[in-house]
Amino acid sequence: MIKHPTRALRLTALLLMISLLVTGCALLPTAISGTVRGPVYSGDTVTISVEEYERLLKYAELEEMRQIVSEYFYQEPDEQAMLDGAAMGMLYGLEDPYTFYYDTEAFQKMWEEDEGEYAGIGIQIMANYNTGVCTITRVFLDSPALEVGVRRGDILTRVEDIDVTAVNLSDAVDIMRGEIGKPVNVQVMRDGELMDFVITRAVVHTNWVNSCMLDEQIGYISLYEFSGDCAPTFAVQMNQLLGQGARALVLDLRDNPGGWVDDAQKIADLFLPEGTLATLTYRDGTTEYYHLTTDGKEIDIPLVVLINEFSASASEILSGALQDYGRATIVGVQSYGKGVVQYVLPVGSRGAGMQLTVAQYFTPNGNEVHKVGITPDVVAEWPEEDGNMYQLGDLNDAQLRVAYEKALELLAQ
């Protein structure tokens, strides 16, 4: 995702113009001129251009529906809720799972979660839009979910009275993010068996980065998401590992769903020289380059990156770049394959927002990622019978063990 791109500023201006047109559609003009470039107000008369008038006509059917509802619906309608629903429906028509509308409350919650502290039960979920399955990919430390026994790998099947799928996952998340101290009923499937939990909501503190030494010479960093303060925290923890004697590093991006591209760029800068991080291609065929910067202090120790089928988006940008530059050995299984990026934009004046897929990205060597993923250099499968949620740096974790052994091998070269 991208917070404040140049192209997005132009798009924001367009959205604001559309918003003005939609909200003003009840003011039908009494004069039309093909030479007028903007609305001209004179008493109760509004003069607009032919182009703007034709745009208004596109929304005439929606306005007609609103008036019918206002006149005949059996209860007093909530017009703002109707407008929110219309906005959601407009973006739903794009049939893109990564494009959607945030109402005011949802947009605020999204930014709160990015800051790393929110009220909930403390789980991270990956939705598969092909199968509809929602898998719990992380249970936060000291969280209510961890306390009752929810595990990594559990499939979220039900929250209160909602049967959870990828389509309605946001509704389920809203319920789990409810009032502190209040219980929520959550059902998961584990090894084919349904399990029910009553989990009391609490303040959840998100630790984006965690690290330890695997032995006296190999450091380990687990990066859970490209959000919040993950980039500076990553740098601090990496330097701590180096100070403890780390001569090689294992970077764990398993279950990392991605996040802000800027954070991936900052972390890549720690390991790579000046160059291209990724190439974005837009609908009109134009390209944009995410550039690596350098201060000449890149870390030059052996690096192993661990990925799995839930490593997506910014995780794939980072691991793809490290692989293309020959800077890291990629261990694990084929990654998720989310090779598109989104703008996150404010909409209107009420604090609402939207997320819009705007471009496809490619690795520095031009490799396609979308629906393909990153292919590991060393394949390491997760054993089907292994349902454990290992503690940080536990080498009983079969995939981590392979990455560790690869780091030892690189050290010996």
Q: Which residues contact 94 (CB under 8 A, 6 or more apart)?
A: 357
CA–CA distance, 22 with 394 (Å, rounded to integer) = 56
Catalytic residues: 313, 324, 338
| The amino acid at 46 | V
Q: Tell me 225's DSSP state.
A: -
Of 281, 253, 267, nearest in space to 366 by CA: 281
Of 319, 292, 356, nearest in space to 87 by CA: 356
Cα torsion 333, 143, 172, 89 to 10°: value is -70
CA–CA distance, 372 with 74 (Å, rounded to integer) = 50
Residue environment code for 81-99, b if the CB has 16+ CB neighbours within 10 A, otherwise e: ebbbeebeeeeeeeeeeeb
Alpha-carbon distances, residue 167 vs 40, 95, 97, 119, 171 (angstroms): 44, 12, 8, 23, 9
* Residue indicated by tokens 């949620």: 389
CA–CA distance, 356 with 48 (Å, rounded to integer) = 29
3-state SS, 117-140, equals EEEECCEEEEECCCCCCEEEEEEC
* Residue indicated by tokens 């800077």: 327
Alpha-carbon distances, residue 389 vs 1, 150, 165, 386 (angstroms): 29, 10, 23, 9
| The amino acid at 18 | I
CA–CA distance, 46 with 28 (Å, rounded to integer) = 8
CA–CA distance, 35 with 55 (Å, rounded to integer) = 16
CA–CA distance, 301 with 248 (Å, rounded to integer) = 5
Of 381, 375, 377, nearest in space to 410 by CA: 377
